């Protein structure tokens, strides 16, 4: 959200869309690295709930700060391509040039991250730092640096998400809250440790919410996501594609 506001500020200065696009991604990378260094690093060795509380507090701080800086009103966000569906024969389909750009951008990022984590030494060091930090340190991996890089990449991808979502949901300080709920539900459905599960979970949630909005009303989308989330947590809390079995008492 903040990165998208950065892009909107640059666009207000009559700069090109692509300059604002790149600036937003860079802003996301920098903010992610700073957050890890300043806020997350002190609690990394503490119980996980500490990091959860810190990041929730950061969410509230960023949303409040954005409202103070840019205002709380809704504003349109431009797109580099048309948002009208492609014309097929005498009608139009529900797929616009910007939708196609969004799909290609998401697929490109997904493939890029797959290559990074599976077939590069940097990705191997990042995975080692995440799963076995002590062993990674003994092998010479700069674990702290890998954590910073991981947070920077995550925030950069989040910045891309904000740029792709804003034209459809408008731009305001809380515009990503609903997306956050849907994304979290998709991740839980697929399994938090499964990249394939995240993809499948996202597709399932997307189709399910589309049917709910089409047949029951858009106002029930959030309720539908909550029902799916509760059902998954009751039946298979580790996720459909997770490789980690839940601990039973």
- pLDDT tier at 152 (50, 70, 90 boundaries)? very high
Indicate whether 130 and 187 sit together in one domain: no
Give yes or no: residues 38 and 148 share one domain.
yes
- Specify whether 161 is located in the same domain as 188: no
Q: Quick check: 167 pLDDT over 80?
A: yes
- Is the pLDDT reported for residue 174 higher than 80? yes
% of the chain exceeding 70 in pLDDT: 97
Sign of CA dihedral 38, 41, 43, 47: positive
Query: Domain range holding 194?
Result: 176-249
Cβ atoms 143, 187 nearer than 8 A: no
pLDDT digits (tens, 9 = 90+) for 206-234: 888 888 888 888 888 888 888 888 888 88
Question: Helices 2-12 and 17-35: crossing angle, nearest 10°?
Answer: 150
68 burial via Cβ count (<10 Å: 0-12, 13-18, 19+): exposed
Give yes or no: residues 202 and 156 share one domain. Answer: no
Q: Cα separation of 143 and 92, whole Å?
A: 51
Query: Rounded mean pLDDT of 171-200?
Result: 86
| DSSP state at residue 87 | E
Residues 126 and 202 in one domain: no
| Predicted pLDDT of residue 39 | 93
Tell me how far apart the terminal alpha carbons of the chain are, to the nearest angstrom.
40
- Tell me how far CA of residue 58 lies from CA of 31, 66, 162, 173, 223, in angstroms: 12, 12, 17, 13, 26
Per the prediction, the chain carries an average pLDDT of 89
Q: pLDDT, tens digit, for every residue of 65-104?
A: 999 999 989 999 999 888 888 887 777 887 889 999 999 9
What values do phi and psi take at 193, rounded to 5? -105, 15
Measuring CA to CA, which residue among 170, 232, 238 is closest to residue 204?
Answer: 232
Q: Supply the pLDDT for residue 209.
A: 87
Q: How many independent structural domains does the chain possess?
A: 2
Last residue of a domain, one of 121, 140, 171: 171
Question: Which residue did the predictor score with more confidence, 38 or 194?
Answer: 38
pLDDT confidence of 157, banded at 50, 70, 90? very high
Compute the chain's Rg from CA coordinates: 20
| One domain, residues 27 and 67 | yes
pTM over 0.85: yes
d(CA 34, CA 197): 30
Is the pLDDT at 35 greater than 60? The verdict is yes
Note the Cα 46 to chain centre separation in Å: 25
- pLDDT of residue 163 exceeding 70, the answer is yes
pLDDT at 154 over 80: yes
3 state DSSP class of 37: helix
- Of 140, 171, 202, which residue is a domain's last? 171
Question: Quick one: tokens of 195?
Answer: 């990249």
Same domain, 231 and 189: yes
The verdict on 159 and 97 lying in the same domain is yes
102-121: average pLDDT? 92
Residue 52 pLDDT > 70: yes
**Considering the chain, what percentage of its residues have pLDDT values greater than 90?**
53
Q: Is residue 157 located within the same domain as residue 230?
A: no
């Amino acid at each position: 959200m903040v990165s998208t506001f950065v892009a909107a500020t640059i666009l207000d200065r009559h700069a090109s869309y692509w300059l604002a696009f790149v600036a937003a991604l860079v802003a996301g990378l920098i903010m992610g690295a700073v957050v890890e260094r300043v806020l997350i690093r002190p609690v990394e060795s503490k119980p996980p709930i500490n990091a959860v509380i810190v990041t929730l507090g950061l969410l509230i701080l960023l949303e409040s700060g954005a409202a103070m800086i840019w205002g709380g009103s809704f504003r349109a966000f431009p797109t580099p391509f048309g948002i009208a569906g492609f014309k097929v024969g005498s009608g139009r389909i529900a797929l616009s040039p910007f939708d196609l750009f969004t799909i290609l951008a998401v697929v490109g990022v997904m493939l890029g991250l797959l290559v990074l984590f599976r077939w590069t030494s940097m990705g191997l060091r990042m995975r080692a730092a995440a799963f076995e930090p002590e062993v990674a340190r003994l092998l010479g991996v700069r674990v702290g640096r890998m954590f910073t890089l991981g947070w920077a990449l995550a925030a950069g991808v989040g910045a891309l998400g904000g740029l792709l979502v804003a034209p459809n949901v408008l731009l305001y300080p809380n515009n990503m809250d609903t997306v956050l709920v849907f994304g979290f539900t998709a991740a839980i459905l697929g399994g938090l440790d499964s990249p394939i599960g995240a993809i499948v979970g996202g597709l399932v949630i997307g189709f399910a919410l589309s049917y709910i909005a089409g047949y029951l009303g858009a106002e029930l989308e959030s309720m539908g996501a909550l029902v799916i989330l509760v059902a998954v947590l009751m039946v298979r809390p580790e996720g459909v594609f997770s490789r980690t079995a839940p601990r039973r008492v």
